[in-house]
Amino acid sequence: MTSEQQHATPASSITNRLSYTDALARVMGLADFEQRSHGHEFHLDRMFLLMERLGNPHLAAPAVHVAGTKGKGSVSAMVASVLKAQGYRTGLYTSPHMHAATERIQVSGEPVSQAGFAALVAEAWPAVEWVGANGGQGNVTTFEALTSLAFLHFKKAEVDFQVLEVGIGGRLDSTSVVNPEVAVITPISLDHVEVLGKTIAAIAREKAGIIKQGSTVVVAPQPAEALEVIEGVAAEREAKVVEVVRYYTWRCESADLKGQTLEVKGPQKDYYLRVPLLGEYQLENTATAVAVVEVLRQRGHAISDEALVEGLRTTRWPGRLEVLSAKGPLVLIDGAHNLHSATGLVAAIRNIRRMTGKTDPGRVILLFGALAGHDFEGVIGEFAKLKPVVFAVRPNHPRGRPSAEVAEAIRNAGLEVVAESESVAEATRKAIAMAGEKDTVLGAGSLSVAAEVRAEVLGIVQETYPNLKRAP
């Protein structure tokens, strides 16, 4: 049997009783608290029961478990890319997706196929229904179902590692059924306060819930109040803390529109690296990924310097300060949706515009939309520093705020609203048409806006979910 035959689409041997469309409708038709602004009585009992019914696939491979407010997806993508470069068969589970649900579940950089996704749903559905009917914990949620599909896919693919990005929080997130080889906590700031708590300390306690007894946790740079909580939880659980700012330093050597070159100095050695991601915060994420790799080495996993360099160089993580076009007007997107991320984005945009070498960088034309539950007034206040003219848009998301509501906040910030639109695609076409060669078109405010701008510019078909309802 060839390697290609051995590692064919994991669910291909299962009779697929569902089309992809039907499978997607089933999963997206479950209670989806990722798509709603209100809270929920989260717990792990239902997820553990679902795993038991499916044969505990989450235990099939060592895990790298990544929580945090900002940078958790980037760090997850970096670590998975390094493990792949070393030759490990690597599962990567992230959320939310940009264009299609299959993007969330990848093996060695390849998303699960539509046929594979449908076959996984067909296999998992009897357990999903049984847990809902007999588990005494209520119905399985969309995110729990997707997480279980990821674990199933990874087990069938016989992955060597699984890299798991936490959805919301950490302590009670459905990914937290694993006992990770290494836990990672990226920078914490205020977000999802209606679910996680209204203070940095409260949110940090939820994120620190991924720290397991006797484990190792890599901690990215944190506010003092967050670090204190994380260290306290680690001490309670006798876990080793690798604080990135204590053991590592990093410095940008050069940057252009395609990425950054940097030096990272750590306790094992110094590295000269290239990452295809922009923004100063990605330097911090890179140092965090290096720390994770060094911890994995200490735990006996072979990862060469060459794999580290190559994996970081080839990391793919779209939608995060991504340059969609540098010909004519510069077209950028980013998923920044809270004050902390918006501050970093504004600084990065200024640096990027300087990279173009234009003495007159022109206007910033901002496509801005927001979701219910996010501090979009604070984000708009930060973006106001760029003095943009703005298209107020409503993302095609169940929690998308009406464009008129967004436009009011934009005007209250003293900015010009060019137009209000319920279609991000239409607004994108108009913004690019009005932009001069020196101008910058920026899609931001939520990852949904970034994804819809990306789809329009690159000609990608954006998946929709008619059985999910818009917020009122």
* Domain ranges across the chain: 3-313, 322-458
* 8-12, 64-68, 143-147, 459-463: range with lowest mean pLDDT: 8-12
- State the greatest distance between any 2 C-alpha atoms of the chain, in Å, as a whole number: 67
For the chain, the residue count is 472
> Rounded to an integer, what distance in angstroms lies between the CA atom of residue 275 and that of residue 283?
9
Residue 8: is its pLDDT beyond 70?
A: no
Residue 12: is its pLDDT beyond 80?
A: no
Mean pLDDT for 308-320 is 96
Residue 196: is its pLDDT beyond 60?
A: no
Q: If you average pLDDT over each of 64-73, 343-352, 356-365, which comes out highest? A: 64-73
β-bridge pairing 416-421 and 389-393: parallel
> Is 90 strand, coil or helix?
strand
> Rounded to an integer, what distance in angstroms lies between the CA atom of residue 358 and that of residue 352?
11
pLDDT > 90 fraction of the chain, expressed in percent and rounded: 72
pLDDT, residue 168, reads 82
- Residue 439 in contact with residue 362, Cβ under 8 Å? yes
Displacement of CA 64 from its chain's centroid (Å): 15
pLDDT, residue 339, reads 80
> Is 181 strand, coil or helix?
coil
pLDDT, residue 464, reads 83
Residue 6: is its pLDDT beyond 70?
A: no
Structural fold of domain 3-313: UDP-N-acetylmuramoyl-L-alanine:D-glutamate ligase (3.40.1190)
Residue 301: is its pLDDT beyond 50?
A: yes
Mean pLDDT for 189-204 is 70
CATH class label, 322-458 = alpha beta
pLDDT, residue 297, reads 97
Question: Which residues are 392's β-sheet partners?
Answer: 368, 420
- pLDDT by residue (tens digit) across 145-155? 999 999 999 99
Q: Cα Rg for the chain, rounded, in angstroms?
A: 22
pLDDT, residue 10, reads 45
The beta strands (E) that lie in 316-386 are given as 322-325, 330-333, 364-368
What's the DSSP call for residue 31? B
Q: How confident is the model at residue 13 (pLDDT cuts 50, 70, 90)?
A: very low
pLDDT, residue 350, reads 84
* Greater pLDDT, 157 or 199: 157
Mean pLDDT for 208-234 is 95
pLDDT, residue 341, reads 81
- pLDDT by residue (tens digit) across 83-100? 999 999 999 999 999 999
pLDDT, residue 42, reads 59
* 141-150, 166-175, 399-408, 446-455: range with lowest mean pLDDT: 166-175
Residue 468: is its pLDDT beyond 70?
A: no
